[in-house]
Amino acid sequence: MKKTFADLHLRANLKNRESAKRLITKAAELGYSMVAVPLSPEARQEELAWLRATCKEAGVDFVSRVDLRPRSQNEVLRLLRKIRRRFEIVCVSCESKEVARQAAKDRRVDLLSFPALDWRQRFFDRAEAELASGGLAELEVDVKPILALEGRVRVRLLSCLRREVAVAREFHIPIVLSSGAGEMILLRMPREMAALAGLFGLAEAVAAVSRVPADLVRRNRLKLGSGFVAPGIRVVREGSDC
C-alpha cells in the first residue's frame, strides 16, 4: 500500500501568492500528498479558499492549520475557545513554560512546537510530556533549523532534539516531522527528511512524516464532521425510522 506523506508545516508566504504556489507545487513534486500551511487566527475565508484551490491544482490534500503564539495561560484558553472548530490542526508555539504546560494538557491542542534554539527556552521535559500523555497533543519537530544552522548552534539544537525525542518516546507522545520550510531550497523529499531525523535519534522517522500526521488529520476531520458526538460515538443515521 502506498504511503501518504505529509508536511504539516509548509510555511508558504501568502503575501506572495506566486511564490506560495511554487512552494506547494514543489512539495507535490517531491512526493507529499498532504500539506498544511500555517495561518493566523484572523485568516480570511478567501485565503483558505485560495489555498484549497491551489493545492487541488497541485494534486495535494490541503489541511487547514492555525498557529497560536499565546503569551499566557489565559490567552491559550481564550484562543482555543475562539478557533478550535475553524481549523483541522491547531498548533501552539510554546515560548514560555506557562504556555507549554497549559497547551500540553488541553485536549483541543494538536501540536506542540518549541521554536527556540536556546535549550533554556525549550520546555519539553518530563513534566511537559507527562501532561501531554494525558491529552492528545503531539510533538512537532521542524527540519528547517537543522539545514539552516551551522556549527555549535546546530550541534546544541541536535542535542536538545535528541533529549526531547527520548522523553517523547518514554511517555508515548507521537512525533510529527515537518519541514518548516518557506523556501524551495529548504524542502526535502519525505525519506530524506526521515534520514535527517536520524541525526537526533528518531527511529520512527518515516512514520513521523507519513502515518502519524495522516492519522492526526483523519481523526480531526472525523471530529469536525457533523456526525461526531464524542470520541468513539458518531451519528450514522438520523430520522424517524431509526
Percent pLDDT > 70 in the chain is 93
Domain regions of the chain by residue span: 6-234
pLDDT computed for residue 2 by the predictor: 75
Residue 142 bridge partners (DSSP): 178
pLDDT above 80: residue 127:
yes
pLDDT tens digits for 38-87? 999 999 999 999 999 999 999 999 999 999 999 999 999 999 999 989 99
pLDDT at 229 over 90: no
- Which of these, 104, 85, 91, lies nearest to 65 by C-alpha position? 91
Residue 95 near residue 121, CB atoms below 8 Å: yes
- CB under 8 Å to 129, separation ≥6 — which residues? 104, 167, 168, 170, 171, 173
Residue 41 pLDDT? 93
Residue recorded with cell 498544511: 36
| Residue 55: closest CA among 84, 26, 90 | 26
Over residues 156-212, the pLDDT tens digits come to 999 999 999 999 999 999 999 999 999 999 999 999 999 999 999 999 999 999 999
Q: Does pLDDT of 21 surpass 60?
A: yes
Confidence band (pLDDT; 50, 70, 90) for 119?
confident
pLDDT value, residue 3: 85
Domain 6-234 listed as CATH 3.20.20.140: yes
Could you give the percent of the chain with pLDDT greater than 90?
A: 87
User: Is residue 116's pLDDT more than 50?
Assistant: yes
pLDDT at 239 over 90: no
The strand pairing partners of 35, in sequence order, are 7, 62
207 vs 194: CA distance, rounded Å:
9
Asked whether the predicted pLDDT for residue 149 surpasses 90, the reply is yes
Helix, strand or coil, per DSSP, at residue 178: strand
Look at residues 188, 213, 186, 177 and name the one whose alpha carbon lies nearest to residue 30: 188
Q: Which residues of 27-65 are buried (b: 16+ CB within 10 A; e: fewer)?
A: beebebbbbbbbbeeebeeebbeebeebbeebebbbbbb
- pTM attached to this predicted model: 0.90
